[in-house]
């Protein structure tokens, strides 16, 4: 009786090894990328939004906040170590992850796929905006560390262009969305929110945080362009800072 010869085992093409803890350097770089997005970049974003919120109180309050930040000990070292370099690494490695990743929202229009694409594009918008913003406000024109009370007028002059107002508004929404969803991803990847229910509940909290931050950012922009403080001075006079507001109840 003829016997059936066992068929040859199919050849399986070797693919990419799964990412596991302790194997290779990609795990470390990705963890570092995720961590820097929350600490210190996320902490800096919160501080920056709170500082900008002082614009609602007027040029003097806004300038005082800029002066306080620039008077911190070793402020230039802190600026590079905890702001510029982390943002640069987070942005460049994020682009690297994007180029290696795959998404197809046409054939697989799942929520997770849309989130993946949105996170990448908002990150790109955020990096482009931060780059131009730092160059314009930190390294061009009047030096704010030496003239902090010129900060309100400097930003106001930039926002005198309606196109820049649109850029600021779009970038603000993109940055807040990117940060809020980034916190959700951080908690999921680091095992802080195990289980579908925990991730869903935390997602609502992150969404609420993103909305609050975006509203604060847009309110700060409105304070600069809304007309309450038109044509702010390039530098607030010392007499204005020391004199009592509206002395004797006389309007000026």
Burial class of residue 248, CB neighbours in 10 A (0-12, 13-18, 19+)? exposed
According to CATH, the topology of domain 26-229 is: 3 helical TM bundles of succinate and fumarate reductases (1.20.1300)
Q: Are 126 and 175 in contact (CB under 8 A)?
A: yes
CA distance 222 to 252: 24
Structure tokens at 127: 């990096």
- Per-residue model confidence as pLDDT tens for the chain (252 residues): 455 555 554 444 443 344 444 455 688 899 999 999 999 999 999 999 999 999 999 999 999 999 999 999 999 999 999 999 999 999 999 999 888 876 665 555 567 778 888 999 999 999 999 999 999 998 888 999 999 999 999 999 999 999 999 999 999 999 999 999 999 999 998 989 988 899 999 999 999 999 999 999 999 999 999 878 876 666 654 444 433 444 333 333
Q: Could you give phi then psi for residue 155, rounded to 5 degrees?
A: -70, -40
Mapped onto helix, strand or coil, the DSSP state of residue 135 is helix
Domain map (residue ranges) of the chain: 26-229
């Amino acid at each position: 009786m003829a016997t059936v010869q066992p068929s040859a085992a199919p050849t399986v093409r070797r693919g990419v090894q799964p990412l596991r803890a302790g194997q290779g350097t990609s795990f470390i770089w990705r963890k570092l990328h995720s961590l820097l997005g929350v600490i210190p970049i996320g902490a800096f974003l919160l501080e920056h939004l709170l500082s900008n919120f002082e614009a609602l109180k007027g040029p003097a309050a806004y300038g005082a906040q800029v002066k306080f930040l620039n008077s911190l000990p070793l402020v230039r070292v802190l600026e590079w170590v905890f702001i510029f370099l982390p943002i640069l690494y987070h942005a460049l490695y994020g682009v690297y992850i994007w180029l290696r990743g795959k998404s197809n929202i046409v054939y697989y229009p799942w929520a997770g796929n849309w989130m993946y694409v949105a996170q990448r594009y908002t990150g790109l918008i955020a990096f482009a905006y931060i780059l131009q913003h730092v160059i314009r406000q930190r390294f061009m024109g009047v030096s704010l560390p030496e003239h902090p009370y010129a900060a309100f007028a400097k930003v106001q002059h930039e926002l005198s262009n309606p196109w820049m107002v649109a850029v600021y508004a779009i970038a603000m929404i993109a940055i807040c969305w990117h940060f809020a969803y980034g916190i959700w991803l951080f908690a999921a990847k680091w095992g802080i929110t195990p289980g579908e229910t925990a991730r869903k509940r935390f997602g609502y909290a992150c969404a609420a945080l993103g909305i609050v931050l975006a509203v604060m950012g847009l309110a700060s922009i409105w304070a600069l362009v809304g007309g309450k403080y038109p044509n702010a001075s390039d530098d607030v006079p010392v007499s204005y800072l020391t004199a009592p507001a509206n002395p004797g109840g006389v309007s000026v």
